[in-house]
Amino acid sequence: MSFKQWYDAHLMPRLVTFACGQGQVMKRRSQLVPLASGDVFELGCGGGLNQEFYQTSKISSFSGIDPHASLLDAARERARARGWDGNIREGVGEDIPFRDASFDTVVCTFTLCSVDDPQQVMSEMRRILRPGGRLLFLEHGRAPDPDVARWQDRIEPVWKKIAGNCHLTRPIGAALRGAGFEVEPLGQGYLPKAPRFAAWNEWGVARRTGL
């Protein structure tokens, strides 16, 4: 195994989990994740950082996928600590291993930045939602300030290589609208104390339209 393969498989997922577990990020999760209800699916559940915020009494079932097998044990452990088992398995958002209209809520936090094909992933999230189902999103992406956006363009080619394919320049709300969601923004802004090129966040509720 080359250093790059070892880094991508073992060290990078842990560094990313550490960064995603910082106080201000957890605060934003705490405002969004408790809205999940019914049959819930989490895309890119990683090491399970959202687990502590689910209101288990409102949830009928929990499923999650992530391509990084090395993170899934931590996700399962965090789920068990909440008193549920959860159906947590390896998989990618481009081909979600669940039937059409299986879920009331899809949760997607800091994941659309890292997938290979965001259009396909958004289409898959839409497919597995029941009519009227909700996608709860909290993502980082392209900043509205031209100076910051220029830096994002410059840094992204290197950043995505060291940060698990994390892109800095992807639009968030606009992309979800383009994928057939009706977006109710709940907030947006830079994460305090984070480098601005990686700090622009948007979060909200996106409803499946068209049915």
Ligand X SMILES: C[S@@+](CC[C@H](N)C(=O)[O-])C[C@H]1O[C@@H](n2cnc3c(N)ncnc32)[C@H](O)[C@@H]1O
Site string for ligand X, 152-191 (x = CB under 6 A): ------------x---------------------------
Is there a contact between 70 and 9 (Cβ–Cβ < 8 Å)?
Answer: yes
CB of 210 to ligand X, least distance (A): 23
CB of 146 to ligand X, least distance (A): 25
Q: How many CB atoms lie within 10 A of CB 169?
A: 16
Could you say whether residue 67 binds ligand X (CB under 6 A)? yes
Q: Which stretch binds ligand X (CB under 6 A): 1-9, 103-111, 176-184, 200-208?
A: 103-111
Cβ-closest position to ligand X: 46
The residue length of the chain stands at 211
Question: Which residues make Cβ contacts (< 8 Å) with residue 61, sequence separation at least 6?
Answer: 39, 40, 87
Dihedral of CA 98/104/110/114: which sign? positive
Integer Cα distance of 135 and 206 in angstroms: 5
CB of 116 to ligand X, least distance (A): 5
Contact positions vs ligand X (CB under 6 A): 16, 20, 43-44, 46, 49, 66-68, 71, 92-94, 109-111, 114-116, 164
